[in-house]
Chains A and B, each alone.
Chain A
């Protein structure tokens, strides 16, 4: 049970962050959507995205300085695996209009049937893909 504590605390930060975004700016905090929007910039719909990404980066820089142990990676994955994964994630999140944050957290909290279904699907295929990776590489 002890390893649930950091997850619950981290999740609370995330829940608070997306709530602030919705209350003040009326926006859904969907990271893939925010990123995708910067690739096709439109007037009046660009600056907030950049500021959000800058905030993510600033958080990353500070946490990496204070707690580098939270950035340690243990995986069998090679460069090719990360490129493959990245391509699929980019392609799939734009096609499916969302990722773990937009569908998984914001959408489910709003009880959106599209998001609930999307989340079930990406978790199912995530489990499948992870199992295939383990089968082929021998380890995760």
Chain B
């Protein structure tokens, strides 16, 4: 049952990304190009998604457990460390350079366009690379 929910969530999420224009690099870059011909439309995506989820979260957080599991799986890290700061900066550099973030990369890959193939392969490699480096440097 949990797996069916996950599948549905992924499906709805993908439709949301497509409808909002998040699958098109020109929209992402147009949004980040604040000094150029700024395309502010994507603020609407964040605003709308955060608005709706905040309301749901406000009510769900009073529950002791989710409907299909024994507990909520929230991040355990609470402190702000250099990994959060540096990692987010590195992610931002890649996001602005290619105009793609993880969610859209997977959904847009289904159109079989080469840029996404290269991007996703490199992204998975980058994830592995961090794990190797973290183990090596004991981060």
Interface string of B12-34 (1 = CB under 8 A from A): 11111111111111100110111
User: Could you pull out 5 A-B pairs where Cβ atoms are within 8 angstroms?
Assistant: A14-B45, A25-B6, A57-B109, A83-B118, A88-B94
Q: What total of chain A residues lie within 8 Å of the partner, measured CB to CB?
A: 109
Which of chain B's residues has its CB closest to A93's CB? B91
**A110 shortest CB reach to chain B, Å:** 6
DSSP majority for the A interface? helix
**B44-90 interface with A by 8 A CB criterion:** 44-54, 56-57, 60, 65-69, 71-75, 77-80, 83-90
DSSP majority for the B interface? helix
**B69 shortest CB reach to chain A, Å:** 5
Assuming the A-B contacts A11-B47, A95-B130, are A105 and B53 also in contact, with contact meaning beta carbons closer than 8 angstroms in the complex? Answer: yes
B residues apposed to A, CB below 8 Å: 2-26, 29-30, 32-36, 39-54, 56-57, 60, 65-69, 71-75, 77-80, 83-103, 105-111, 113-116, 118-131, 134
A36-B91 Cα distance, complex, nearest whole Å: 14
**A37-61 interface with B by 8 A CB criterion:** 39-40, 47-49, 51-61
Which of chain B's residues has its CB closest to A121's CB? B88
| Nearest 10 A/B pairs, CB to CB | A10-B20, A55-B10, A59-B14, A96-B87, A90-B126, A85-B98, A88-B94, A125-B92, A11-B48, A86-B122
- Structural contact, B96 and A64, CB atoms closer than 8 A: no
Collect the chain A residues with CB atoms within 8 Å of residue B95's CB.
85, 88-89, 100, 122, 125-126, 129
Collect the chain A residues with CB atoms within 8 Å of residue B71's CB.
26
